[in-house]
Chain A
């Protein structure tokens, strides 16, 4: 790479990997939670809703510290995951992905929930009278109709995951090659004399990635929306 130093390139690649996995793994859960919040009345619904939104309203540093308290290697959940699955979050890139996923989760749920609420339940009823079980109704009717919302939610989640800083640096620190994502790297470069040029290059990369993701999702969403409009 001519434009980027190896160190800078590592940060970019790590950020993409973290954001990709964070978005991919959070998406099915976000769809499920959004569906429950949009379509079901249950005890504790407001509690779940509040919990989902917590990362959005808490200071990110607080979320990061709570993650450390929960998923640190000596914390109960962290220790159990390490023993059972060999999965370690603390000070690993997986932890960065977890933090990024959790921070983007409320944004994904909000976008998808709005889309689900806009789907006419009467269409789902019609599908069930035509022989579709509840799962098939979701796959063949609900999911195609909420696709524009799902795409929008995915983009928001991905953008948040790319830009996550506070929770990540608190939870998994700023280790080059392991947990030093794009924002952490920019921050680190700005702390050392002569790092401005590196920081500026990473800023340009950030803008390019963000714009590409936005354009891609706009195109996909427009195509999906056209399909859903029935024309």
Chain B
């Protein structure tokens, strides 16, 4: 050996060399313990900031704008748990399946072996992809579905939908809300909100660009003939028996796209109709004209509206009201709990796969050979011998992956936006919900300093969840580690 370090050291005395060695070990210890100092400071500062704000009310209340005293994380906790469950239900079977395929079904043919290698390389690389990129993927693939289904978002009504009933709701003079079923109809005009595929007058189809008013207008002729400003009105026309919407690009080139029945936002009540009261009973609604006096009888009052009232509280214009059943679904998934769960599943999939692979590799080869010896097929070996003994390892990995999922904020911010609170409870997979990490993020960046304490309190709750999950993982590891050894 002739490297310079070697020669330097050769000229040192034994005592010096020993001194170097031991002082290096002291430096090492100091540097390593910095990690402990950092962790202690972090936990300390969070507990000091948020500890006193942690109470039962905080755990159950929901976010209030500009009012940190009454805000809480009730909805966020539920949201986080629901999204993590979806994520786990999707990622675990797929992840474990992939791991089994990679570990136990190694093919002999060359081309299949290359396929195997490709998937393995791909998984290792996916583990290094930033989570925000998964967020963008979730936005494109689940929220907008690559633009394959265009939605006219002005009424919030997707083209393909099940499990939703639309009705109109109106407040009677007696202050009760009554509703009556809405019938889909075509609106004479709609506003174009999303890019979509349209047909021009010569029958050619092209993808329409939609620019927001804040973006400057496109200047190049090529783009201008394919662009509209967001909110451009499209007129309902009927051509050869088909209902179409027609509008023009910035360039004045007219185009059409098929009209789907939509409910209008408001319905005017001009004649008596049958409605359903808050108690669920149907009755005929009285419609009074403006000149008539308000009825004195309470029951009649509760069953009357003015046909045209100047007072907005007594307005006779009924507004659209959607009730979602628990199985409410639509395409695309838009910004919903389902999109969020699926996106998170993609984020943790590589982690689940790698952890499961390691667990499966840890199963002694003798177990497999014994099972093969009894005439089992490869799958029977996997099911009967490999999986049962790999389960604790897989479970540990799965829990650790879930604890990654529950703290992940960036992908959720991408697919659900920064929701802090919703008026309705989470009732179906198509709803949006606040989640813990995003709530912490929004609160930490809030200008109202009071939310700083809330963010810290929410962090304590999040850390408590993580601690719980990890304790379970450690417990499983310890319990079963001895059995196999």
Q: Is chain B found bound to chain A in the same assembly?
A: no
